[in-house]
Amino acid sequence: MLPIITEEATSEIFGEVFQDVQAWRKNMVQYLKEENPEINTAILEVAKYDEAIDLKAVALGAYLSYRLIELATENDGLVIEE
């Protein structure tokens, strides 16, 4: 089961991304090459699959989704149940 992505997590990641979208995307390419190269390859392959779609936009959306899930997973362990 995937973790819940909170508004706080979304705000945090959007804050990172929208400071400099191009630099953030490039950093995510490098990060995923090291952290999870299979995911990075899959993202790039899907983005190249159809010439009618914008490669950078597809990659940005995929990297954004990956980062949101990653942060939510990290924070999921911090939830204290009553």
pLDDT in tens, the chain (82 residues): 788 898 998 999 999 999 999 999 999 989 999 999 999 898 888 877 777 778 888 889 999 999 999 999 988 765 444 3
Q: Could you tell me the residue ranges of all domains in the chain?
A: 7-76
- For residue 51, the model assigns a pLDDT of 76
- For residue 43, the model assigns a pLDDT of 86
Cα gap 16→24, rounded to integer Å = 7
Contact predicate 48/55, CB 8 Å: yes
Q: Which amino acid is at 18?
A: F
Contact predicate 13/67, CB 8 Å: yes
Contact predicate 66/3, CB 8 Å: no
pTM for this one? Answer: 0.79
The number of C-alpha atoms within 13 Å of 18 and in the hemisphere containing its C-beta is 6
